[in-house]
Structure 1
Amino acid sequence: MENTHILFWLVKDISWCMIWKTLGLLMVGPTLGIAIVIAWRTRAYKSELAHNLAIVFWITANSYWMASEFFHFDAVVVAPGVTGKHLALVPFLIGLGILLYYYLVQKPRETRETQVATL
Structure 2
Amino acid sequence: MSEIKLREYENFHIVLWLLKDTCWLMEWRLEGIFMIVPTIAAAFHITWLGRKNTANLFHNLAVSSWICGNAVWMIGEFFFNDSFRSFAKVFFSIGVVFLAVYYFGVLPKEKRARR
Same-fold call, TM cutoff 0.5 = yes
Residue by residue over 1:59-104, the C-alpha shift from the partner in whole angstroms, topping out at 9 and shown as x without a partner, is: 00000000000003414xxxxxxxx312211110111001000000
Is 2:48 aligned against 1:40? yes
Is 2:54 aligned against 1:67? no
The one-letter amino acid paired with 1:113 is: A
| Corresponding residue of 1:30 | 38
Count of residues in Structure 1 that have an aligned counterpart in Structure 2: 107
Give, in whole Å, the separation in 2 of the partners of 1:46 and 1:53.
Answer: 11
Query: What residue ranges of structure 1 are gaps of 5+ in the alignment?
Result: 76-83
Give, in whole Å, the separation in 2 of the partners of 1:3 and 1:45.
Answer: 18
| Corresponding residue of 2:3 | none
Give, in whole Å, the separation in 1 of the partners of 2:94 and 2:81.
Answer: 22
Structure with a larger share of its residues in helix: 2
Query: What residue ranges of structure 2 are gaps of 5+ in the alignment?
Result: 1-8
Give, in whole Å, the separation in 2 of the partners of 1:37 and 1:104.
Answer: 26
Give, in whole Å, the separation in 2 of the partners of 1:49 and 1:27.
Answer: 23
The one-letter amino acid paired with 1:90 is: V
Is 2:101 aligned against 1:101? yes
Is 2:91 aligned against 1:91? yes
Q: CA deviation at 1:3?
A: 2.0
Does the Cα contact within 8 Å between 1:68 and 1:74 map onto a contact in 2? Answer: yes
Q: CA deviation at 1:10?
A: 0.7
Structure 2 length-normalised TM: 0.90
Structure with a larger share of its residues in strand: 1
Q: CA deviation at 1:7?
A: 1.1
What is the alpha-carbon root mean square deviation over aligned residues?
Answer: 0.9
